[in-house]
């Protein structure tokens, strides 16, 4: 039985303690006591029954796996297609439509089979099927696409020591206690400790955000006096309440020189050594970061996106309104029926079940029809189309969307919490500035300003005095091909992407050598300039010697023998911290390559340049050399430190992980769009501030006024967390204190992986009003494993596709394929476009539905039957609206879409402008249609069979069309005489005639009432004209619906959307087909129209366009809801002076004034 003294939870807590406390003074106070209690490295090995010499016994493998878990996390299986379909059917709108379709099918099949009433239900079910199928297919496609992008956990061989023998095993078989042998380039397969003598440098950038490699070994702290102490302002960030600046300065220690803990997923940048495994599989820190998102927000527990929840609420509201109107019209019809029955109206003298039962049934059918018509059936399809269109377009903008709802959620994003390394920066240390020959200059300027001799000397010094393991190579990415891992070269815009191998600082040096050598080729080419020096001066060169870098010396030197004809037989090259190397230099090389004494003026020039570089956040390194006539090496080949004297200064370089070129511009756009960018990084505060200033995250005015601040993770945690070192710090937030900090916070430096999670969680939970929003929508960007928890927690998570780790990609909603921060801004643009496009369709369809419901309700109330038949309403609601959804949901973003504030989460979908348009257009359409219904249509005394005109008219209306209204209505309203054949009454001689044999013959036949009811249901040209005018009004209003912010020019950009124009033309010709083609018009309940009638309907529809200009003059204050136009922002100057509202500004794309109303929350 395996008797280990440590369990997985104890080890996890110790690992977490190391992650959360990285500065030296915190390690001493919080980590070292626990480390000592555990017996340090030796004690841990004893408790785990292992050692670096013998490892574990092979026979213990199963027991250790049972106790600590396997070193493999099974990836989730691909979700089957049917599961996506079921998920889609969880949409409340679709569920309601299915119920409505079933009811419509039953009623239509039983009572309206002859007039194809069941087609309504079938069409709704078809629409539901299309929405479900398209949505499921889209999700399934994205799943496969993402799985092909991310390489699954590969089964690779690693070197371990077991039973005292080194052997190779699968990384999945690694267990806690295993001794893993590491070397340069290895990716760690588990968490572990390294404590014996080694040369390992581990790059933990993906986990901590640090941009340089960490030396590993037993805890080793930097000596007092051998490190710079931060300024008073930075010292205030320390968690030492009540301490004076002097006490803080005395206590402060930077990150230790060495630490023993290493993490799965990090990379061995240099060296060799052995690691004892302490965490595998689900118990690694990497996997801890991927714990399930614990979303305890009540309003988000359903997992629905912002717009989905708004649409759900609107669907419920419309359903209730539709039900009220449907039930109301049924009640009205029954009351009217009762009144007519009591008044003994025509065909209501006595109960006739053959007639009156069917009338009652039709009352219910009318109510159900109004109920169904009220619901925007095309809305789910519009949402699906809008998202599918935008997701496709976003792919061309280098955004691969994993979660469709994330696309529209970005339209409401108010905050972006971004990682620095690899997201805002390139994650490649680069020389940004140089001092050479007494002058500061850009690296690309050096070759043209100095002599060939100085340039060659500088290139030699920077190449020879670096390790051969440092290299610039082509970036590759693993892909699964036929079940095997294949390395594929990564290209961006056809060019091979660079990658660093080895020490990042030295890579920056040899990259500068390539610049000085004016190299134009691709990464990894054999003719890169630095490789010429490597070939001439290999590390194995006889006589070569060196002095290694140490934190105390802060420099390194390399001695090499020179070829014949050189300046001297031997050359010593030195590089290191500027302040250290400068003290050793007495001469420098001028632009002509001549060696000149350093005087006080030049020394001040250099020192001023070093200070200037430091102020820019650059790490300064001096490069020097010394010509020697003979080798100063000792007999054992070692160099004495004394040789590093009387050096000749070649250059001073300023190095940093540079901002991506597009970042400052992208952040300016974010500011303009009302989005605050916050940077979270593992770098020190000074570096973080310098980068954020360059990026535009911290502004000069904001820092001066205190409205924008930077702080360290240590101070942040001490102020906002109620419990330190918790495994779930996001559950320990003091929200009141947090709300005092986050509105001003722009930079969080020296942060732990969970600090970003705490920041995101706290901002999401905050309900204070900031920037006009009382609930922030938070997007998070990142590329490292450390970003995974925040990526999962965020409303939208962005992972970098090329530099991002697989863990980050798994946690994200959107993958930025080109690692370009500007692509995230494109996602914001498309998110707002999706929101706008859905609102455009919503405005259009609700106008259609309101008009259709009004015609159906008022028509049924007044005429006892709707002027528009069920199949006609179906045609407009299902077919026309489906095409409209395709036309309106595929509009491209307006250029000014990023000049508006984000849409608030609680803002209704229908803004005041949309309501104004919806109501006014509906009122106009209702007026026009009622005019056509009641002012047109002659009441005939007689007419030729099949004719649409009266031979003799009893009521002469506008035009010469025969009325399509019910006969009973026309007789009651337009004709004074009662033409109803009287009901038989034996006591009333006027109700019968006498036959020759004296038998009373009733004047009204038994079929009179039934035939009259059937006659009223026949198609008429009058009602066909009404139907076509209704369609034409919607067709032209579709153009108006393209603009939802009150723009006057509704045609702007219409020629750019060929799909919209094609659909408009198709809708018109399909209407012609439905009305004038035999067979189709019979099913539609129509009769053919003449050319003049078509022209008349066309011009009736055309009135919608000038009407839109008139509607813009209607005061917005008459309508509830916040105008979407209130979200428009002016320039940064307007925001600062408060001049952005209540002004007119002109749109960038159409030159029309956009009225910006005063901000008013409703």
Query: What region does 56 belong to: left with phi over 0, alpha with psi -120 to 50, or beta?
Result: beta
C-alpha to C-alpha distance for 1080 and 609, rounded to whole angstroms: 84
Question: What residues pair up with 401 in beta bridges, in sequence order?
Answer: 814
DSSP reduced 3-state for 176: coil
The burial of 735, by beta-carbon neighbours within 10 Å (0-12 exposed, 13-18 middle, 19 or more buried), is given as middle
C-alpha to C-alpha distance for 930 and 851, rounded to whole angstroms: 11
Q: Nearest CA to 745 among 773, 767, 770?
A: 770
Task: Supply the DSSP string of 766-811, one letter for each residue.
Answer: --S-BTTBSS--EEEEE-SGGGHHHHHHSSEEEEETTT--HHHHHH
List the structure tokens of 544: 């070569």
DSSP reduced 3-state for 451: coil
N-to-C CA span, the chain? 69
C-alpha to C-alpha distance for 832 and 837, rounded to whole angstroms: 9
**HSE of 749, CA atoms in CB hemisphere, 13 A:** 19
> What is the length of the chain?
1162
C-alpha to C-alpha distance for 780 and 415, rounded to whole angstroms: 8
Count helices and strands in the chain by DSSP H and E runs: 42, 39
Among the listed residues 26, 120, 397, 419, the single catalytic one is 419
Strand 958-962, strand 1000-1002: pairing = unpaired
Sign of the Cα torsion 900, 901, 905, 906 reads: negative
Write phi, then psi, for 158 (nearest 5 degrees): -130, 155
Q: Nearest CA to 574 among 650, 654, 470?
A: 650
List the structure tokens of 1155: 């009225």
DSSP reduced 3-state for 72: coil
Question: What residues pair up with 627 in beta bridges, in sequence order?
Answer: 571
Kindly state the helix (H) or strand (E) to which residue 1151 belongs, with its residue range: none
DSSP H helical ranges for 412-542: 443-449, 452-464, 504-516, 529-536
C-alpha to C-alpha distance for 447 and 462, rounded to whole angstroms: 15
**HSE of 595, CA atoms in CB hemisphere, 13 A:** 13
C-alpha to C-alpha distance for 789 and 819, rounded to whole angstroms: 19
Write phi, then psi, for 623 (nearest 5 degrees): -120, 130
Q: Nearest CA to 626 among 654, 588, 669?
A: 588
Write phi, then psi, for 993 (nearest 5 degrees): -125, 155
Question: What residues pair up with 500 in beta bridges, in sequence order?
Answer: 472
List the structure tokens of 355: 């007639």
Q: Are 870 and 120 in contact (CB under 8 A)?
A: yes
Among this protein's residues, is 525 annotated catalytic? no
Contacts 24+ apart (CB under 8 A), 98-103: 98/124, 98/125, 98/128, 100/124, 100/371, 100/372, 100/375, 101/125, 101/128, 103/368, 103/372
Task: Supply the DSSP string of 727-766, one letter for each residue.
Answer: S-GGGSB-HHHHHHHTTTEEEEES--HHHHHHHHHHHHH-
* Residue in the structure block whose two tokens are 């004296």: 998
C-alpha to C-alpha distance for 827 and 403, rounded to whole angstroms: 13
Q: Are 867 and 859 in contact (CB under 8 A)?
A: yes
Catalytic residues: 419
């Amino acid at each position: 039985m395996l008797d280990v003294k440590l369990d997985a939870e104890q080890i996890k807590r110790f690992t977490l303690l190391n992650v959360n406390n990285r500065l030296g003074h915190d390690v001493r106070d919080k980590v070292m006591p626990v480390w000592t209690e555990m017996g340090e490295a030796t004690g841990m090995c004893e408790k785990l029954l292992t050692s670096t010499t013998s490892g574990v016994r092979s026979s213990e493998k199963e027991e250790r796996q049972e106790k600590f878990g396997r070193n493999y996390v099974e990836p989730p299986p691909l979700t089957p297609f049917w599961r996506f379909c079921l998920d889609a059917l969880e949409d409340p709108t679709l569920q309601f439509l299915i119920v409505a379709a079933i009811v419509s099918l039953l009623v239509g099949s039983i009572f309206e089979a002859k007039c194809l009433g069941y087609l309504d239900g079938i069409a709704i079910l078809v629409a539901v099927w299309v929405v479900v199928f398209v949505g499921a297919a889209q999700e399934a496609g994205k799943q496969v696409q993402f799985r092909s992008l991310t390489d699954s956990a590969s089964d690779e061989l690693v070197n371990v020591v077991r039973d005292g023998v080194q052997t190779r095993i699968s990384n999945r078989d690694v267990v806690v206690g295993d001794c893993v042998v590491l070397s340069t380039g290895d990716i760690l397969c588990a968490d572990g400790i390294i404590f014996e003598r080694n040369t390992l440098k581990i790059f933990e950038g993906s986990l901590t955000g640090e941009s340089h490699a960490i030396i590993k070994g037993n805890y080793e702290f930097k000596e007092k006096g051998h490190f710079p102490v931060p300024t008073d302002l930075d010292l205030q960030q320390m968690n030492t309440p009540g301490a004076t600046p002097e006490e803080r300065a005395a206590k402060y220690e930077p990150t230790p020189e060495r630490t023993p803990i290493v993490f799965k997923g990090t990379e061995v940048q240099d060296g060799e050594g052995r690691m004892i495994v302490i965490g595998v599989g689900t118990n690694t820190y990497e996997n801890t970061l991927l714990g399930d998102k614990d979303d305890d927000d009540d309003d988000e527990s359903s997992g629905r996106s912002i717009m989905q929840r708004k649409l759900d609420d609107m669907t419920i509201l419309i359903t209730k309104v539709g039900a009220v109107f449907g039930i109301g019209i049924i009640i009205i019809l029954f009351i009217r029926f009762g009144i007519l029955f009591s008044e003994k109206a025509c065909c209501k003298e006595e109960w006739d079940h053959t007639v009156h039962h069917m009338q009652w049934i039709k009352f219910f059918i009318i109510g159900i029809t109004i109920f169904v018509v009220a619901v925007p059936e095309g809305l789910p399809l519009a949402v699906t189309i809008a998202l599918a269109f935008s997701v496709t377009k976003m792919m061309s903008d280098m955004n691969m969307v994993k979660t469709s709802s994330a696309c529209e959620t970005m339209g409401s994003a108010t905050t972006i919490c971004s990682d620095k390394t690899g997201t805002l920066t390139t994650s490649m240390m680069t020389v940004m500035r140089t001092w050479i020959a007494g002058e500061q200059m850009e690296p690309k300027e050096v070759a043209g300003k100095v002599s060939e001799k100085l340039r060659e000397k500088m290139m030699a010094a920077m190449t020879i005095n670096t390790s051969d393991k440092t290299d610039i190579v082509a970036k590759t990415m693993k892909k699964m091909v036929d079940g095997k891992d294949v390395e594929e070269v990564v290209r961006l815009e056809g060019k091979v992407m660079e990658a660093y191998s080895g020490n990042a600082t030295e890579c920056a040096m040899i990259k500068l050598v390539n610049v000085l050598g004016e190299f134009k080729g691709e990464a990894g080419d054999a003719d890169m300039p630095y490789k010429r020096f490597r070939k001439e001066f290999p590390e194995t060169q006889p006589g070569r010697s060196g002095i290694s870098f140490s934190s105390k010396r802060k420099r390194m030197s390399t001695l090499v023998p020179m070829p014949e004809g050189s300046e001297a037989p031997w050359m010593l090259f030195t590089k290191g911290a500027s302040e250290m190397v400068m003290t050793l230099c007495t001469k420098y090389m001028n632009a002509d390559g001549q060696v000149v004494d350093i005087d006080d003026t030049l020394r001040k020039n250099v020192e001023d340049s070093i200070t200037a570089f430091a102020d820019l956040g650059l790490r300064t390194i001096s490069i020097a050399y010394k010509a020697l006539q003979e080798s100063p090496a000792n007999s054992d080949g070692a160099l004495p430190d004394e040789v590093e004297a009387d050096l000749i200064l070649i250059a001073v370089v300023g190095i940093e992980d540079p901002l991506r070129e597009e970042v400052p511009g992208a952040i300016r756009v974010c500011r303009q769009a009302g989005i605050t960018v916050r940077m979270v990084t593992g770098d020190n505060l000074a570096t973080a501030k310098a980068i954020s200033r360059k990026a535009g995250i911290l502004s000069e005015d904001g820092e001066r006024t205190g409205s924008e601040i930077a702080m360290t993770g240590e101070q942040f945690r001490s102020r906002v967390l109620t419990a330190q070192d918790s495994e779930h710090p996001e559950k320990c937030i003091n929200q009141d204190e947090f709300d005092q900090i986050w509105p001003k916070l722009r930079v969080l430096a020296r942060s732990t992986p969970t600090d970003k999670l705490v920041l995101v969680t706290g901002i999401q939970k905050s309900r204070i009003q900031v920037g006009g929003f009382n609930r922030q929508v938070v997007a998070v960007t990142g590329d490292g494993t450390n970003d995974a928890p925040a990526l999962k927690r965020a409303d939208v998570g962005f992972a970098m596709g090329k530099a991002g780790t697989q863990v980050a990609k798994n946690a994200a909603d959107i993958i930025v394929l080109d690692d370009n921060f500007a692509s995230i801004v494109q996602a914001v643009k498309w998110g707002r476009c999706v929101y706008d496009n859905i609102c455009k369709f919503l405005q259009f369809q609700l106008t259609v539905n309101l008009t259709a419901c009004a015609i159906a309700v008022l028509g049924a109330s007044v005429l006892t039957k709707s002027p528009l038949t069920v199949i006609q309403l179906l045609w407009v609601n299902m077919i026309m609206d489906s095409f409209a959804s395709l036309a309106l949901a595929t509009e491209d973003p307006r250029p000014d879409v990023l000049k508006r504030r984000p849409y608030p989460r609680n803002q209704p979908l229908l803004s005041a402008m949309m309501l104004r348009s919806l109501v006014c257009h509906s009122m106009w359409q209702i007026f026009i249609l009622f005019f056509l219904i009641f002012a047109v249509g002659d009441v005939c005394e007689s007419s030729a069979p099949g004719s649409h005109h009266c031979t003799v008219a009893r009521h002469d209306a506008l035009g010469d069309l025969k009325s399509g209204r019910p006969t009973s209505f026309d007789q009651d309203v337009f004709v004074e005489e009662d033409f109803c054949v009287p009901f038989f009454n034996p006591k009333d001689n006027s109700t019968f005639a006498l036959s020759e044999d004296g038998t009373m013959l009733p004047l009204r036949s038994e079929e009179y009432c039934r035939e009259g009811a059937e006659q009223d249901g026949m198609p008429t040209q009058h009602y066909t004209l009404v139907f076509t005018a209704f369609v034409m009004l919607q067709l032209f209003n579709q153009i108006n619906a393209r603009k939802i912010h009150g723009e006057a020019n509704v045609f702007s950009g219409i020629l750019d959307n060929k799909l919209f124009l094609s659909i408009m033309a198709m809708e018109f010709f399909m209407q012609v087909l439905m009305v004038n083609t035999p067979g189709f018009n019979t099913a539609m309940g129509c009769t053919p129209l003449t050319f003049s009638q078509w022209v008349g309907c066309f011009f009736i529809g055309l009135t919608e366009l000038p009407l839109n200009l008139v509607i813009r003059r209607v005061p917005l204050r008459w309508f509830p809801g916040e105008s979407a136009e209130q979200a428009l922002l002016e320039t940064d100057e307007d925001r600062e002076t408060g001049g952005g509202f209540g002004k007119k500004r002109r749109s960038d794309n159409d030159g029309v004034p956009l009225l910006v109303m005063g901000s008013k929350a409703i």
